Amino acid sequence: MESKPNILMERYELGRLLGQGTFGKVYYARSAVTNQSVAIKAIDKDKVMRTGQGDRIKREISVMKLARHPNIIQLFEVMATKSKIFFVIEYAKGGELFNKVAKGKLKEEVAHKYFKQLINAVDFCHSRGVYHRDIKPENILLDENGNLKVSDFGLSALVESKQQDIMLHTPCGTPAYVAPEVIKRKGYDGAKADIWSCGIVLFVLLAGYLPFHDSNLIEMYKKISKAELKCPSWFQPEVCKLLGDILDPNPDTRISIAKIKEHNWFKNVPNARNKKPQVENNTVSSSGTIVSDQNNENDGLEAEAKEDSVVPISINAFDIISLSSGFDLSRFFKDNVEKRETRFSSKLPASVIISKMEDIAKQLRMKIKKKAAGLLKLEGFSEGRKGVLSIDTEIFEVTPHFHLVEVKKSNGDTLEYQKILKEDIRPALQDIVWVWQSDQQLQSQLSDQQLQIHDQQQQQSQS
């Protein structure tokens, strides 16, 4: 006789045990509604409260809700019974990165891919004021496509939990991966401590063993404090240089994530160095050398964009009302709605607005793509914290001499978009903008404009 499936909260069908930790177990599960595979972390509530770890669980929930990134395990929802707390999280089919490293060192191009994804995830966390503090291969998972997913934020710190001197004071993490300043217990910068741990992970991926290790914990701490790095013979010189900059025992001179991203080894796939360069946006001169065409890439894109003409969309009173905050239903479906768009009105022709946006795109070195339905797209050339930034500018014609323009982020990192909007787009548009409007102002102002149009039409018909 077949046993009935174990259905949790009438929503998830529990499957095999994936792992076990200090406060509970992790199970494979499948949604009874969508059939989606998930992992469910079942935490013993009594054990958490008995050991005084309630704040740790709350912090982990807060951090996972805040840190949404392709290379970070996603938290879908939290449920609870009288005795258990359940985290429903993204299922990483590939298991722990540790299992791969346990078999030996990885190929340089594979290690490069994982390290790049790790740095992108950690950089995103830091931009949100989150410091992981326990980065190690056991806390890094892989999905079914072999992409890295940072997990286990139980020891993380939020910027709000810092003391007034902007330093963290709680020593935590796994001994072999902790930074020297954490061991000294004198206060440390969470971002710089995370960077050190990322360096240890990179060394382990490439070497198959730890750079500072000893069976005696005190001796291992001494080695970490001295940070006398010895790279294996198979390491590339530029990898050794990068590791030396990351595993700097002095946090004040340790390399930043921004500088890591600028490093030649980080930017270039190792296996591609010996291959002939693919000439796409470059041209070959008569001497046979490759001449970069980067200086003209915006000109080419602009020429491509000019093939299409942007025709503003005509809108009526009903369209204007639908843009107002009273008819925005998104807040009923999302807990935290990101403000991705802003609007302004202009009394200038659409061609002037388009020309101004093209100038901004050139200044920001972004691609320009024109679409027929009043849409102008600006796209970045390089990846940000959440992919390539893409900004849409949509122009609506209320009258031939009055336009409504909506600027919004269609892809990429919201903070990056907001920074560009505040520091570049708004100042550059100030000479053509009649007024930047909130939804409430928009509804009032455009309704008045529509009423004026209606009155004019009535006067014309009477005459």
Full DSSP string of 116-134: HHHHHHHHHHHHTTEE-S-
Task: Report yes or no: 140 and 148 within 8 Å, Cβ to Cβ.
Answer: yes
Residues making up the annotated binding site are 41
Give dist(CA 373, CA 18) in Å, integer.
Answer: 50
Amino acid at 450: Q
**How many residues in total does the chain contain?**
463
Domains and CATH numbers, the chain: 1-91 (3.30.200.20), 94-275 (1.10.510.10), 308-462 (3.30.310.80)
What pLDDT score was predicted for residue 28? Answer: 95
What pLDDT score was predicted for residue 30? Answer: 95
Task: Report yes or no: 397 and 408 within 8 Å, Cβ to Cβ.
Answer: no
Residue-by-residue pLDDT tens, the chain, 463 positions: 455 568 888 899 999 999 887 778 899 999 998 999 999 999 998 888 888 888 778 878 888 887 789 999 999 999 988 899 999 999 999 999 999 999 899 999 999 999 999 999 999 999 888 888 889 999 999 999 999 999 988 666 655 444 444 456 555 557 899 999 988 877 889 899 999 999 999 999 999 999 999 889 899 999 999 999 999 999 999 999 999 999 999 999 999 999 999 999 999 887 655 544 444 444 333 333 333 344 444 444 444 444 445 666 655 554 554 454 444 444 434 444 445 678 888 888 888 888 888 899 998 989 888 765 568 888 888 877 778 898 988 888 777 778 888 888 888 888 888 889 889 998 989 888 877 765 444 444 554 554 555 556 556 666 5
Antiparallel, parallel or unpaired: β 283-284 and 290-291: antiparallel
What pLDDT score was predicted for residue 77? Answer: 92
The yes-or-no answer on residue 194 being catalytic is no
Give dist(CA 148, CA 129) in Å, integer.
Answer: 21
- 25 pairs with which residues across the strands? 20, 42
Q: How far is CA 63 from CA 20, 24, 278, 423, in A?
A: 21, 19, 41, 28
What pLDDT score was predicted for residue 316? Answer: 53
What pLDDT score was predicted for residue 170? Answer: 55
Task: Report yes or no: 183 and 225 within 8 Å, Cβ to Cβ.
Answer: yes
Q: What sign for the dihedral angle of Cα 320, 323, 326, 328?
A: positive
Residues making up the annotated binding site for ATP are 41
Helix (H) or strand (E) holding 272: none
From 44, 55, 123, 134, active-site residue: 134
In this structure, the dihedral spanned by the alpha carbons of residues 342, 343, 349 and 353, taken in order and rounded to 10 degrees, is: -10
**CA angle 446–394–397, rounded 5-degree value:** 45
